[in-house]
Amino acid sequence: MRLAVYTDIHANRQAFSACLDFARAHGAERTICLGDYVGYGADPEWTVEVVMDLVERGAIAVRGNHDSAIGTTTVSMNAEAQAAIEWTRGRLSAAQRRFLAELPLMVQEDDRLYVHSEANNPQRWHYVQTTLDAARSIMATEAEITFCGHIHQPTLYSMSAAAKLTSFVPRSGVGVQLLPGRRWLAVLGSVGQPRDGDPAASFAMFDTDTREITYCRVPYDVETAAERIRKNGLPFWLADRLLVGR
């Protein structure tokens, strides 16, 4: 079965729509969402509505730190993120806020684990920045393959039977077989706010039969997404960074 895995959509309607279309055209049969549906972008209602609909039809969704911040003030964030969260809180319906608050932090399915930040301490929202961070996450789960996001930069880590780590920045469109016998941590890039220098939306497809993961890049209407951020009175920097992917 072919999975489409999205993370860090951040209320970017233009980016998420483009990814959903791309995945459908490439035969995606199931949707996995790794959190951070809101924050930063100007279309939180639409985004949460789409995710709720996907979940109703069998998709898996876990909770990210921005989703948590909607319901509680204890999640610490920088000023721009905080401003976006407060604006978003006023836009979402009670049902949508409840949906976000009740999402699980982690879901395991067969030999795969889905989590927003990493598996070792998911409620602490640590970033996977080094092979050591990756090793901690891999050791904390029995799943052979962990999918996560949060850092907005795609990287594929693997651990050999001898507990040696390798890291790799994947090339979009080139499938990589996640060899059995090793354990993998697939850190995905962000749909709605890429930060690796490429403004195109980032997500991944995974074929459960061949165990092949393909990181995908989808160009979308960045100007409209940026314009909507500005028009809604959100910090301008959140619009500007979409244009450069930083």
Partner 1 sequence: MAKPSVQPGAVIDGFTIGECIHHGGMATLWSVTIPGITVPLLMKIPRMSEGEDPAAIVSFEMEQMILPRLSGPHVPGCFGTGDFARQAYVVMERIPGKTLYSRLGELPLAYEEASAIAGKIALALADLHRQNVIHHDIKPSSIMFRPGAEAVLIDFGLSHHNHLPDLLQEEFRLPYGTAPYMAPERLLGVRDDPRSDLFSLGVLLYFFTTGERPFGESETLRGMRRRLWRDPYPPRKLRPDYPPWLQEIALRCLEIEPVWRHPTASQLAFELAHPDQVKLTARSERLKRDPLSTVLRRRFNRELTHPKARSDLAAQLASGPIVAVALDLVEGSDALNEALRVTSERILATLPSARLACLNVLKLGRITIDRTLDEEGKNKHIDRLVTLRHWAQPLSLDENRLTVHVLEAVDPAAAILEFAAANHVDHIVIGARQNSLARTLLGSVSAKVAGEAPCTVTVVRPPRLASLQQESADEKPDEVRA
Window of 46-54, 71-79, 162-170, 190-198 that interacts with partner 1 by CB under 8 A = 162-170
C-alpha span between 160 and 232 (Å, rounded): 48
- Measure CA 191 to chain center: 7
User: Is the Cβ of residue 167 or residue 232 nearer to partner 1 in the bound state?
Assistant: 167
Query: What is the nearest approach in angstroms of partner 1 to the Cβ of residue 230?
Result: 36
Per CB under 8 A, does 197 bind partner 1?
Answer: no
Report CA torsion sign: 42, 193, 24, 95.
negative
Window of 32-40, 48-56, 170-178, 221-229 that interacts with partner 1 by CB under 8 A = 170-178
Which amino acid type is present at position 34?
L
Q: Are residues 178 and 146 in contact, defined by beta-carbon separation less than 8 angstroms?
A: no
Binds partner 1 (CB under 8 A): choice among 58, 90, 181, 197:
181
DSSP character at residue 102 = T
Per CB under 8 A, does 130 bind partner 1?
Answer: no
Binds partner 1 (CB under 8 A): choice among 101, 174, 243, 244:
174
Per CB under 8 A, does 176 bind partner 1?
Answer: yes
Per DSSP, what are the bridge partners of residue 146? 113, 185
Per CB under 8 A, does 214 bind partner 1?
Answer: no
Per CB under 8 A, does 161 bind partner 1?
Answer: yes
Window of 53-61, 132-140, 152-160, 225-233 that interacts with partner 1 by CB under 8 A = 152-160
DSSP character at residue 172 = T
Alpha helices in the chain (DSSP H): 13-25, 44-56, 65-71, 79-91, 94-101, 131-139, 222-231, 236-244
Query: What is the nearest approach in angstroms of partner 1 to the Cβ of residue 207?
Result: 15
C-alpha span between 195 and 152 (Å, rounded): 6
Residues that bind partner 1 (CB under 8 A): 131, 156, 158, 160-162, 164-168, 171, 174, 176-177, 179-182
